[in-house]
């Protein structure tokens, strides 16, 4: 900010010196008008008119550029919002995955405990002597001859 002020003061000082050194009256002919004025004032007026024309001619491009910047800023905000939403969803999914992993570990622990109990029971069963096989007190059932009709 201070650099701009210094540059502006230097330019103003040079313009004053230029105006004092070029105070000679000069005739100027414009299409339908003719007048006489100081060379410095005519040159400074020409510079001013040129600067004004360049500003007017560059205004549409500047407006277009600003409009595009505004649209891009809105788009960036939308994308940032979408990224934040996706980040929250990812966190939520990661939390769900962690919960499922905990449940799986719990289930695997339960399965391991049950398998251990089954092995213990199988070992006990294998260690026990098998009971003697008792013969059936009932005789085998007699089958009727195939030629006798059923009642």
Model confidence pLDDT, tens digit, residues 65-121: 999 999 999 999 999 999 999 999 999 999 999 999 999 999 999 999 999 999 888
Domain boundary assignment for the chain: 22-27+35-126
The whole-number pLDDT of residue 21 equals: 84
Cβ-based neighbour number of residue 8 at 10 Å: 10
Model confidence pLDDT, tens digit, residues 120-146: 888 888 877 766 666 666 666 776 666
End-to-end CA distance of the chain: 123
Q: How confident is the model at residue 17 (pLDDT cuts 50, 70, 90)?
A: confident
Burial 116-143 (b: 16+ CB within 10 A, else e): eeeeeeeeeeeeeeeeeeeeeeeeeeee
């Amino acid at each position: 900010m201070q650099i701009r002020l210094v540059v502006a003061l230097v330019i103003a000082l040079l313009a004053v010196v230029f105006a004092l050194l070029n105070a000679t009256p000069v005739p100027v002919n414009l299409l339908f008008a003719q007048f006489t004025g100081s060379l410095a004032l005519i040159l400074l007026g020409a510079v001013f008119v040129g600067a004004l024309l360049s500003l007017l001619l560059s205004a549409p491009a500047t407006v277009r550029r600003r409009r595009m910047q505004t649209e891009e800023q809105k788009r960036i905000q939308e994308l940032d919002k979408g990224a934040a939403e996706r980040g929250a969803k990812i966190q939520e999914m990661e939390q769900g995955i962690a919960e499922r992993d905990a449940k799986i570990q719990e289930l695997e622990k339960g399965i391991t405990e049950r398998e251990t109990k089954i092995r213990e029971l199988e070992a006990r069963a294998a260690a026990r002597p098998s009971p003697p096989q008792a013969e059936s007190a009932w005789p085998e059932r007699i089958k009727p001859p195939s030629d006798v009709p059923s009642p």
